[in-house]
Amino acid sequence: MALPEVKQTATEARLANLVMPDAGCTRAAREDALARVLEMGLPGRRDEYWKYTRPDTLVAPEAPRAALFDPDEAMLFADLDRLKIVFVDGVFSPEQSDDLTLEGVTIDRIEDICFKDIHWAKELYGVLEARGQSPVQRPLAALNTAFAADGIAIHVSGKPSKPISFIYRHASETSDAMLHHIIRVESGAEVTILENGPAASRFNKCMEIDIADGGVLHHVRAQGRDHERRAATHMFTRLGQESVYKSFTLTVNGVLTRNEQVVELTGDDAVAHVAGACVGDGDFHHDDTVFITHDAVNCESRQVFKKVLRNGATGVFQGKILVKEGAQKTDGYQISQSLLLDDDSQFLAKPELEIYADDVACSHGSTSGAIDETALFYLRSRGVPTKEATNMLTLAFLAEAVDEIEDDALSQAIVDRLEGWMSRHS
């Protein structure tokens, strides 16, 4: 079917600016992905899935300029023992990165494995992204698979002693970066992946994660504070039997962020938690779009998203739980809440459940509200000044999401960031 003309034109204009990397073993996957892009077209304003978030600037041929920003605070996770993998405007920097050897994992640059015959990578690159195109289309992810010029492949076969930490630096005001990472966690293996930094003026990132039976992956991400940056990210995760995936994202600032999580529980007794806390002040649009498919028995999924918004900031949540036929004993929980610190901000939520099994427990809730005046008075009556009391209640509001981070040092690092934001923005 032919695309609407506007979409066709926009898609062609974007593609005209892109060159497919000389890609060795990922070549076929990239060409398939390009075919998907041509068929779907890039997101447009009239697409139902983009009803609350305007895709224009994410799709435009050129990245809108984004001023560089000096956050004037220590890098997140700075004093944590971790293996650092640094990208500058979306380009891997060997000089700034650590040596990529670590017991229990094999880490390669996608560019390098492309010319080796590493079978697991071939079986993963673009594969979960392609699966995730149905029932909802995600053209920006297909675009990424086709054109991402850099990225890392991590094969986890054991339990590495420290987290693997992606650091995304922003160095040019016009940078337009696409990164594609793939991670395969073998049976019984366990890894923690960290991500932080603004990455680029415009950042399109795709991560495909395949967790085999009994594998565990923890993911903690903080999207950089550069005010004018834009990002569209996708995480595609497939879980085998008794495997665990726990992902948390903190977003502080950024003019536009769209984070999609596409999770497929394909083995029995698997657990997937995706959580996010975002705090936005002013020109800030943040969209969490989550799609969780239960396709096995006795799996648990949790979606916990909290947004604190002020001065006209906008928060969006589109979250779906799809329980397929036969996915009995599914335990699905979804909550999305916003705390609006003034009348100018808005929260748009579209929670959805679609259930084809009869023995399931699924719940979803979405609320939007102001600071609880009664609680505020209670704190003040004990001598806590208004600002401090408001901050305490704000942190308390975010706690359910932050509590999804299992590691205490990581969750403390996130709380510190949130406290920093509150002290700057109240």
* Interface ranges with other proteins (CB under 8 A): 372-375, 377-386, 388-389, 392-393, 395-400
The smaller minimum CB distance to other proteins, of residues 266 and 337, is found at 337
Selection from 258, 373, 369 nearest residue 306 by Cα: 369
Give the whole-angstrom CA distance, residue 63 versus residue 230: 9
Q: What is the CA radius of gyration of the chain?
A: 21
The smaller minimum CB distance to other proteins, of residues 17 and 386, is found at 386
The smaller minimum CB distance to other proteins, of residues 360 and 392, is found at 392
The smaller minimum CB distance to other proteins, of residues 175 and 337, is found at 337
The smaller minimum CB distance to other proteins, of residues 265 and 340, is found at 340
- Closest contact distance (angstroms) between CB of 315 and other proteins is 19
- Closest contact distance (angstroms) between CB of 279 and other proteins is 15
- Closest contact distance (angstroms) between CB of 313 and other proteins is 21
Please state the separation of Cα 6 from the chain's center in Å.
Answer: 28
- Closest contact distance (angstroms) between CB of 305 and other proteins is 15
- Closest contact distance (angstroms) between CB of 399 and other proteins is 4
Distances (CA, A) of 5 to 12, 351, 355, 358, 390: 10, 31, 36, 43, 50
The smaller minimum CB distance to other proteins, of residues 271 and 395, is found at 395
- Closest contact distance (angstroms) between CB of 338 and other proteins is 15
Distances (CA, A) of 336 to 122, 293, 320, 390: 36, 18, 11, 20
DSSP string for 263-317? EEE-STT-EEEEEEEEEEESS-EEEEEEEEEE-STT-EEEEEEEEEEETT-EEEE
CB contact set of 117 (below 8 Å; sequence gap of 6+): 25
CB contact set of 142 (below 8 Å; sequence gap of 6+): 33, 34, 36, 37, 40, 129, 130, 133
- Closest contact distance (angstroms) between CB of 111 and other proteins is 45
Q: Which amino acid is at 214?
A: G
The smaller minimum CB distance to other proteins, of residues 77 and 397, is found at 397
DSSP string for 331-361? EEEEEEEEEESSSS-EEEEEEEEEE--SS-E
